[in-house]
Structure 1
Amino acid sequence: MARAKRHYLPGQVWHITHRCHKKDFLLKLKMDRQRWLHWLYEARKRYGLTILDYTVTSNHIHLLVFDDQGRDVIPQSIKLVAGRTGQEYNSRKNRKGAFWEDSYHATAIQTKQHLLRCIVYIDLNMVRAGVVSHPSEWQFGGYNEIQKPRRKCVLIAYEKLAELSGFSSCHAFQKSHKEYVDEALCNVDRRQAWWSESIAVGDESFVEIIKHRLGIRSKGRKVKEAGESYQLREDAGIYIANSDPKNCNIDRYMTLLAGDNYVNTEQ
């Protein structure tokens, strides 16, 4: 799976988006979405991936993770999940060719209120698509797991999620999370592309710090307002694929191709 060069800024929350090849609906069947979640669970077990939220749609995924386990954990995890999902699908369908777009995209998200808003954005994906009326109706998203934590096959790091969101307990976070989702349902049609198309999202100080840490590589990147946040934008067309992860300089920013596509067909 070809991947973009990236800058690695440790200790960040990353919103990862990854599209199916040519935006095809390769995840339209439940079994394929379930397999993606299965391999996500395997990534958590094998590499210690810290998962904060997720949503699997018919043609792309959203994954929110915290980088606290070392520089190789996230790329190894994505390689495992995306690679095995695609291999299983192609084998079952006797299909050849790419399952995913060449690269995924990662946006650095500031913690606390910005993180909470990003979680709500992820949770409402299938509501925006018109597939369900409430995120609790979509079994391939993190909303239900957040509101009703599992005892088995746990994906989300509940306590870490609450801490990073600025709450002293999981219960307090759950209450606020539910309230934010219910409030957002009143204005669900408004797309907030900055959560999945920017280099970084947070307050102005956070975004300026990210830009500063990128140094010379931030040349030409602009800090802009984005709703109640600020974003660091990247011009399209700068991504350079690298098919060998051993040759990928992880000290370059974790940014990849993606974007949101809210046209989904359930079968």
Structure 2
Amino acid sequence: MARLPRLTLADQPHHVIQRGNNRQPVFVDRADHEFFLGLIGENAARFGIALHAYVLMDNHFHLLATPSTADGLPQWMQAVGRRYVRYFNDRHGRTGTLWEGRYRSTLIQTDRYLLTCMVYIDLNPVRAGTVTDARDFPWSSHGHYVGLRQDRFLTPHPLYWALGNTPFAREAAYAELVRGGISSAVHAALTDATLRGWAVGDEDFLHSLQKTTDRRVLKARPGRPPTSRSE
């Protein structure tokens, strides 16, 4: 089956996953993490990307970002990916591919899923057993949003600002969201949609989104496609 073209729209949040080839490590030490964060921050500004959240696991990473143009996201990912491969191969004395094919992405409904996707991203190290508390993992945006540090390249989404009237209130409210977690069903839905390229949202959102693109935004139901009827 032919791959669907990526669904990328301006001014809409996108969840991105990129994995190492054969699940091999793509971050070995602190220098690798810091170099990659520098790349995504520098190129986010270059390509008009608002980066809301991230997590850098050993063999993959997640990003949540809103591009200001339809081609900003693929340009950003291409620039970051190519430069990082050159850096990683040179530094670690290796050759060949680093990534498991192209990055995967999905467009998400802002009001219903953006904060949920941030929580999903923050909890990756906890689900993997790397840490028991998201606050203890240094390579995610969680520390920024709960007041442990400042990541200058991040752009908090208006929904985060709406969590409270003061920094302390926002940090406490967001920390509570992460402590509450997400259901296994929501986790599976976000993962599956991102890997397969389907949009995530309710029926009204998906119906409205479909009007903006010829590319299907949701997996087709099994069976014969419905025939068109004149009105």
Match of 1:239 in 2: none
Please state whether the residue corresponding to 2:9 is helix, strand or coil: coil
Aligned sequence identity (%): 28
Q: Deviations over 1:196-216 (max 9, x none)?
A: 33111122211233344444x
Q: Number of paired residues?
A: 214
Aligned-residue offset at 1:106: 1.0
1:36 partnered with 2:31: no
Q: Structure 1's 141 and 116: CA in aligned 2 closer, same or farther, altered over 3 A?
A: same
Would the aligned equivalents of 1:106 and 1:196 in 2 still touch at CA under 8 Å? no
- What is the SS of the residue equivalent to 1:218? coil
**CA pair 91-174 structure 1, distance change in 2 beyond 3 A:** same
Distance 1:139 1:104 in 2: 23
Q: TM-score, normalised by structure 1?
A: 0.71
Q: Which residue of 1 aligns with 2:119?
A: 120
The answer as to 2:172 corresponding to 1:175 is: yes
Q: What SS does structure 2 have at the residue aligned with 1:157?
A: coil
Partner residue, 1:250 = none
RMSD value, Cα? 2.7
Contact 2:7–2:107, Cα closer than 8 Å, also in 1: no
Structure 2 CA distance for aligned equivalents of residues 29 and 191 of structure 1 = 31
Q: Could you tell me whether the CA contact under 8 Å between 1:162 and 1:168 is conserved in 2?
A: no
Relative to structure 1, the CA distance from residue 97 to residue 47 in structure 2 (aligned partners, 3 Å threshold; closer, same or farther) is same
Q: Which amino acid aligns with 2:11?
A: G
Q: Secondary structure at the match of 1:50?
A: strand
More off after superposition, 23-32 vs 103-112:
23-32
Alignment correspondent of 1:230: none
Select 1:194's aligned residue among 167, 189, 198: 189
Letter of the 2:132 counterpart:
S
CA distance in 1, matches of 2:103, 2:111: 24
CA deviation after TM superposition for structure 1 residue 189, in Å: 7.1
Q: Which one has more relative contact order, counting CA pairs under 8 Å at least 6 apart? A: 1
1:4: how far off?
A: 7.5
Partner of 2:92: 93
Of the structure 1 ranges 74-83 and 134-143, higher mean CA displacement relative to structure 2 is found in: 74-83
Counterpart-to-counterpart distance in 2, 1:189 and 1:219? 23
List runs of 5+ in structure 1 lacking aligned partners: 224-267
Give a deviation string over 1:162-202, Cα, whole Å, max 9, x none: 34775575745433321111111xx7877712213311112
**For residue 58 of structure 1, what is the amino acid of its counterpart?**
D
Q: Quickly say closer, same or farther: Cα 1:170–1:17, change in 2 above 3 A.
A: farther
The correspondence of residues 34-183 of structure 1 with structure 2, limited to 5 A, is 34-67=34-67, 69-148=68-147, 154-158=152-156, 161-163=157-159, 167=163, 169=165, 171=167, 173-183=170-180
Rg comparison, structure with higher value: 2
Matches within 5 A, 1:199-218: 199-215=198-214, 217-218=215-216
Structure 2: unaligned runs, 5 residues or longer: 222-231
- What CA distance in whole angstroms lies between the structure 2 residues aligned with 1:200 and 1:170? 33
Cα deviation per residue 1:112-140 (whole Å; 9 max; x = unaligned)? Answer: 24211111000000000000011111111
